Structure 1
Amino acid sequence: MKARRTFGNKLALSFGVTVTLTIVICAASVAALSLVMTAKDNAIKVAVDDLARSEQLRTEGESRIADYRAYLLNGRQEYLDQTTADRQRFLALVTQLRGSLTDPAAQNLLEAVSTAEAAHAAILDPVIERRKEITNLTDVGQLNATDVTPARKALQDSIVALTARVRENVEQARREASTEASRAIVVIIGLGVLALIFAAWVAWKLNRDLRREVGAAIGHIQSSSAQLEAAAAQQASGGRDQASAMSEITTTISELLITSRQIADSAQRVSQIAEETSAAARTGDATIDQTRASISAIRNQVDQIVQHMLTLGEKSQQIGGVVDLVSELAEQTNILAINATIEASGAGEWGRRFAVVAEEIRKLADRTAGSAKEIRALIDDVRGAVNTTVMATEIGAKSVDSGARQFDEATDSFRRIAQLVATTNDATREIELSTKQQTTAVEQVNVAASDTARVTRETEASAVQTRQTAAHLSNLSGDLLDLVGNGRS
């Protein structure tokens, strides 16, 4: 671990130095190139500006010559004004060049141009003044302008010489900028060579340290991996044997657990059936009690029905007497109605209405007699039904007494059944409780055995994985030795 930290520190330090050197080289390169580009741009800009002004100076001079020639020919004031404006622009350019030119030779040539322009202007001004006095074109030939031509020629030559010198300065500035760029490139190349030399030295030193330190570490790794592989092989063999034994134990316990669960389920079903039988017995006992009470009530009702039937027979006899009386009254009323009809027919006109009433009374008496006969027949039927009902009721009362005695015997049987079912239910509950406890214990043993088997399998897999890792680590250490150049041990 110490060797690794030492090598890491060396690598970090070397990387930091390399990065710093690279940054310095980049910064120096950028600064040199920026300096060269700035100097080149400034030199070329100044030189080009001076060259443009010198060219413009020649242009303004030629324009002035053309303008004053036109004025000498036609005498128009606008050409004179243009001539004056051309000279002012010319002098302004001379002033600008005085401020921008740095070459002494160019400055001397500029002064020569200024002197030639002043001499040319001194010769030209009298000619222009004489031209102002001439109004006839035929007199233009009288102007004495012979001295103007040499002065103009001298001005043009001085301008040409200045332009040539400024152009030479532009070329010289370009050459100097190229020289500075070449120097910057040389500096960058030198820094790059130094960086390469330093990087090669760092790589060589790191390679030497890496081979020495990694070789020692790999020796320890190979020794440890061999020991680890042997231990893993032993652990894997023991794990397989233990896993096989635990698998058999787990299978046995699983079968025992299934049997215990089946016994527990059967005991639970027996207990449920016993509880249901006990509940049914208790319900039957209660039902028998209710039935006994119902039979007693039925016996009372039967006795009451007999009494009511006897009373109904007596009432029907009384009704029969009343019906006989009504029947007798109906016959007498019928006889009276017939007599009244006969008497009414003998009474003449005054007895007709009474005859009609007597006839209606006779019809009513006939209907009453018919109804009395029907009532008599019904009363006879009621008497027969009452007698039959009384006889049936007495037979039912005897049957109710016999049923009550049988219900008492059934009640005793249901109570004995309920006691036996209660005893069976208690025994079944004890069996169920014992079976559940046994099932719980077997489940706990099964879980423990399963966990042990799982741990054994995991241990075996871990041992196999450890063995494979040890072999792979041994191979990797050999490859690493080949990589660092020490060869396989």
Structure 2
Amino acid sequence: MTQVLPIVQQQEMPRHQKKQRRLSVSQIVPIGFGIVIAVAGIATTITEVSKANLKQAQATAEQGFKVKELLGLVEKDIVDAETGQRGYIITGVDTYLEPYESGRKFLQEHLTGLKTLIIDPNQRTRVDKIEPLIQQKFAELEETINLKKAGKDKEVLNLVLSNKGKEIMDDIRVKLLEMSQEQDKIVQQRQKASAQVQQVSSIISWGGLIVGIGSGVFVSYYVANYIARLIIGPITDAAKSVTSSSAGIAETVDNQERSVLDQTSSVHETTSTIEELGVFTLQSAEQADIAAGGAKQALLLAEGGTLTVGRTIEGISGLRDQVTTIANQIIRLSEQTGQISTVSELVADLANQTNMLALNAGVEAARAGEHGKGFAVVAGEIRKLADQSKKSADQINSLVNEVQAAINSTVMVTDEGTKKATMGIELTEETGDVFANIANSINQVFLSTQQIAQTSKHQAVTVQQVVAAMNAINLGAKETAAGIIQVKDATKELNKAAENLEAVV
């Protein structure tokens, strides 16, 4: 197809391409629809403004009605209070004061609501002027009630006949009426302004609709003329170009058909080779799994050896501690035998001294003659005991020396045993380190073998995917070949259609 495109592009140079000062479709369409959108936007904006003004006017009207309602309630509260005051003055019964109390109670609430609703400054000024009058009115009512309670009927009559309360009430009614009338004017002004905005909005909406329709008609007309003027000519040229290039397209399609058939054969051979590669990859994955199992078993054995070495180290350490304890006990025994030797020497020394004393006693007994015979016998016995004590002390010294020699030998043996136990611990720890290194190495081998197995499995999956892709390519190549045949037929039909189009245009 790439061989035909340059020919078509060369033949698609329309003779109608002349430099003309006119708007194109790409220019007139955005301008026309831009006008429509702008008009629609303006109309929408004005409509929204009109809605907002209408809502504001409705809110103002509702506010005005509420203000008028509150004004009426304020007047009603004052009238109720005045009614209660008159009933009490006439009857002197406290129950007649209930309207007075309720009017006084609700009046403050209604005045507060009135101040909250009123926005107009003039109306606020009128409220500020009414409040002192209301206070004066209630002061007058309260004064008459207090006088009535005090039994001063004459003063009550004089105060009522003075018309002070009536004058205050008339002023209040006048100002409330002024406020009500002013509120009506405010509502009417807002409603009038809202009606004007609605009228303008309606005019602009209809005008926008007319302008939008006109713009749409103009754009449609201009585009239709542009198409009729600039597109039919190129269609004629394109029909001629299609007619002249259909032969080249047919030749190109024949070449592509042969290429696709060759490609189908190559893809089939490649698919067979990749399938064999997939079988080899699966076998490699199985062998890697077997190797990983052996490495895992060796790792378990190495870990068991490491645990055994650890227990051996613990046993030798305990033996070394026991030997050290025995050595310490032997040292204490040596110290005790030394003390025994000292005591034995002391006993021998005492025996010698006793023997000397017995000898001296025998000499003195001999000098004493007949009177010293008993003493001589005692001295002889003492000498015998001294001799026996000396012999026993010598035997003890001999035994102590033998024990001391044995203790020294035992100390040397235990010291040697401690050293050998320490060396055994060091050798066992080195053996444990060797086992740990072996376990780490086997673990690395296991992990590497496992990684190889996973990689082989992934490769097998990838190869299967490649096989599937090659099968898809093979199927696509076959479909492409069939499509090319259809393109050949379509090219012939296109050639006929181009000839018919050229004849019609």
TM over 0.5: no
TM-score normalised by the chain length of structure 2: 0.39
- TM-score, normalised to structure 1, is 0.40
